[in-house]
Structures are given as C-alpha cells and as structure tokens.
Amino acid sequence: MEFTAAQIASYLNGTVEGDPEAKVTTFNKIEEGKPGGISFLANPKYTPYIYTSQASVVLVNKDFVAEHPISATLIRVDDAYACLAKLMQMAVSYRPHKSKRERMSKVAWSAKVGKGVYIGSFTYVSAHAVVGDNTQVFPQVYIGENVTIGKDCIIYPGVKIYRDCVIGDRCILQAGAVIGSDGFGFAPQPDGSYKKIPQTGNVIIEDDVEICANTCVDRATMGSTIIRKGVKLDNLIQVGHNVEIGEHTVMASQVGIAGSTKIGGHCMMGGQVGIAGHLHICDGLNVAAKAGILSDVKDASSPLLGAPAMDHKQFLRSYVLFRKFPEIYSELKQANKALKEEIEQLKQNNR
C-alpha cells in the first residue's frame, strides 16, 4: 500500500498538520517509527516518543498539545486508536483474496460451498456442511457434518468445527480454535468411577464474532452453547457446555467459564477470570484479571476484583489491610507477650 497524509486524513475525517503529500507504506509503533511509516499516539505514556519518532505520519487525538517540535506530519482525529484500527482494516482489505479449492483438500459431495470460497490443502469438509460465499478456509481445517458457516468468514489453519455447529457471517476463528468439542459431563457412580454423559447439543456463533487461537467452545449437553454477535474471545479461553455469552462481550486470555452460566452483553473480563457454573452475570460488567466469580452478579455499577470477586473499592480497602498483616501480626505478638508478663506479675504480687 502507499497513501499520502491527505488521502489518509480524508478517509478518517481528520485534519493534516504538516506535509499533506507525506507518503506512508507501512505501520510502525511510535517508539520504532521509521520514514515511510505511520504511527499513532493514544496512550499519554508514549508521548515522549512522538518528539523523537522518525515516522512520516502520526495519528493523534484532536486535543493533543505538542510541548516540543515534531518532525512528523500529524493527522488529528477524534480517536487515534479507533482510526488506526479502521485504517489497518482498510489496508488488510487490499490483500489478495483467494477463491479456489486446493487439490489436496476434500469436500463431501453433499456439502454446499458458496461463491468465491477458498479451501486450503488438507482441509476436510464433511457431508451436508455449508460454507458461505467468500469465506476463507485455510489448510488443515476440519468441518464436521451438518456444520453451517456464513459469508465472509476466515477460518485459520488447524481449526476444528464439530458436527451440527452454526457459525454466522464475518466470523474469524484463529488457528487451533475448537468449536463443539464435548462438554465436561460425567456422572459419578457408586463405585467411585465416572460415566460419560453424551453431549447431544451444538454451538451457535452469531455474526461478527472473533475467537482467537486455541480457545475451546464446548457443545451443549442439550440445546446450544451460544456466542452472541460481536463477541471477542482471546487465546486459550474455555467456554463450558450450555454457556451463553451476550453480544459484544470481550474476554482476555485464559478466562474459564463453567457450564450453564449466562453472561450478559457488553461485559469486559481480564485475563484468567474464573466463573463458576449455573450463574447469571448482568450486562455491562467489568471484571479485573484473576477474579473469581462464585455467585450471580446483578449490579454492574462497579468493577469486580479478587477471588472470591468483590466490589473493587472493598477489595482495595481489604488489600491495604492484607499488606499490613505482617506488621499487625508482629504487634499482636508483642502485645500478647506484654499481656502474659503483666498477668504473671500480678500473680506474683498476689502471693
């Protein structure tokens, strides 16, 4: 790609401050900016780098105030981070779109493959599966029987989609994601062994969902595990059987959700959050990394921290005391010792 600052500003509805003909051909982090690159400044932590960056163009928020001279051409926009995402999406759209079936792939005769679909080598599309128009299915993907995949999806190498699962339009499944594996259902027996409970349901993933590398979404025991539209799941997440995740909820790496829990829309969960089974989580909840949720959450007015999870203000107050425990313990020991000495002295005085 090659674009001028003026073209980029027009596309982003921004204003140019500097050379409107400055050309860019690649993206750079602001601390590693080079001539011909475009960078962005959204986090104030990185402000010092804008004065030394060699990038040709830098996206900044409209309210940015420079304290020193800047050699780069600036493009002022409402939200530099959001505009960078928009610009990168546009750049990616210029990449060649594959639309063929490679020779080493296998598509069952009863499967239906739409127009403009790419199917890579060593991919297997099972009987009665449906792949929508312009979807990209990269090598070594398994698509099970009766699976439905919508239009304009990207299925990266090594993805496994088990039978009967439904994937919406414009979804992205990153490498190694597993959709529809059996839920963790085992019935304890009188002799102490466990008997497997057949998992007869499926997984339904709605439109515009992205599921990242090595994340597993288990099929339902009965009915469906449901990932609503716009959900973004990071790498190495476990979604248990019969879980439902509300629209536009985002989760960072290593979140674990036990079976039959219902999570509302527009929630944000940090890395390694653990959620017990059969819970209801309200819309709009923010949960900090490593928190453990053990009961229903009905109020999203305050973020949750800690394990068990609690209101963040309560957690911070408790944490202050926790850090003082060694000092408190030492003082208690001294007080206990002094009390014992005083009691002993009183006993001697009464003899």
Active site residues: 241
3-state secondary structure of 39: strand
Cis peptide before 44 (omega within 30 of 0): no
Which of 143, 137, 99 lies closest to 120 in space, CA to CA?
137
Cβ distance 179 to 211 under 8 Å? yes
Q: 337 with 320: CB under 8 angstroms?
A: no
Residue 178 parent element (H or E):
strand 178-181
Q: Which residues, 6+ apart, have CB-to-CB distance to 341 below 8 Å?
A: none
In angstroms, the CA 203 to CA 163 distance is 9
Reading the block at residue 30, the tokens are: 């602001």
From residue 153, give the alpha-carbon distance in Å to each of 174, 217, 230: 11, 17, 13
Strand partners, 3: 24
Q: How far apart are CA 206 and CA 227, in angstroms?
A: 6
Please report which helix (H) or strand (E) contains residue 38, including its range. Answer: strand 37-41
Place of tokens 């780098």: 49
According to DSSP, the β-strands at 15-17 and 73-77 are antiparallel
Do 183 and 241 meet the contact criterion of CB atoms below 8 Å apart?
yes
Residue type, 44: P
Q: Are 14 and 59 in contact (CB under 8 A)?
A: yes
d(CA 14, CA 7): 10
